[in-house]
Chain A
Amino acid sequence: MPKPNTETIKKMYKDAFTIRRFEEKAIEQYRVGNIRGYLHPYIGEEAIAVATISACRPDDYITSTHRGHGHAIAKGHDLKFMYAELFGKATGYCKGRGGSMHITNMAQGNLGANGIVGGGIPIAVGAGMAIKQKKGDQVVLCFFSDGGSNNGVFHESLNLAAVFHLPVLFILENNHYAVSTPIEASALVENLSIRAEGYGIPGITLDGNDAVKIYEAMEEPIRRARKGEGPTLIECKTYRHGGHHINDPGLYMPKDKLEYWKSRDPLIILKDYLNKAGVKISEIKSINQQMEKELDEAIKFGLESPEPSVEEFLAEIAE
Chain B
Amino acid sequence: MSILKYRDALNQALREEMTSNPLVFLMGEGIGEKGGSYKVTDKLFAEFGADRVIDTPISEASFVGMGTGAAILGTRPVVELLFVDFALLTFDQLMNQAAKLNFMTGGQGRVPMVLRTQGGAGNGLAGQHSQSLEAMFYHMPGLKLVMPSTPYDAKGLLKSSIRDNDPVVFIEHKLLYTTEGEVPDGEYVVPLGKADIKRDGKDITLITYSLMTLKCLEAAEILAKEGIDAEVVDLRTLSPLDKETFLNSVRKTSRAVVVHEAVKRGGIGGDISAIIMEEAFDSLDAPVMRIAGKNTTVPFNLHLEKLCVPTTEDIVAGVRTLF
- Residues in A lying within 8 Å of B, measured CB to CB: 61, 63, 92-98, 102, 104-107, 111-112, 114-116, 118-119, 121-134, 152-153, 156-157, 159-160, 163-164
Contact = CB atoms under 8 A, between A and B. Distances in A.
Contacts of B25: 133
A299 to B, nearest CB: 20
B72 A126 contact: yes
B104 A94 contact: yes
A111 B77 CA distance: 17
Contacts of B59: 156-157, 159-160
B62 interface: yes
A98 B72 CA distance: 17
Nearest to A125: B66
A126 B109 CA distance: 14
Contacts of B106: 92-98, 104
A162 B60 CA distance: 16
In the A-B complex, the 6 residue pairs with the closest CB atoms = A126-B69, A122-B65, A95-B106, A130-B73, A156-B62, A123-B69
A132 B105 CA distance: 25
Given A122-B61, A123-B69, A126-B67, A112 B74 contact: no
B107 interface: yes
B108 A126 contact: no
Contacts of B73: 61, 126-127, 130-131, 134
Of B64, B69, B101, which is in contact with the most chain A CB atoms at under 10 Å from its CB?
Answer: B69
A93 B108 CA distance: 9
A164 B54 contact: yes
Contact of B109 (A104, A124, A134): A104
16 contacts: A61-B73, A94-B105, A97-B104, A112-B101, A115-B96, A116-B96, A118-B92, A119-B93, A123-B69, A126-B65, A126-B66, A126-B68, A127-B72, A128-B69, A133-B52, A160-B62
A3 B227 CA distance: 87
B57 interface: yes
Q: How large is the interface on B (under 10, 10 to 19, 20 to 34, 35 or more residues)?
A: 35 or more
B56 to A, nearest CB: 7
B47 to A, nearest CB: 17
Nearest to A94: B106
B135 to A, nearest CB: 17
A156 B105 contact: no
B23 A125 contact: no
B45 interface: no
Nearest to A111: B72
B156 to A, nearest CB: 24
A232 to B, nearest CB: 18
A156 B69 contact: no
Given A156-B57, A160-B63, A122 B68 contact: yes
Contacts of B107: 95
B108 A160 contact: no
Contacts of A94: 104-106, 108
Interface string B34-75: 000000000000000001101011010111111111111111
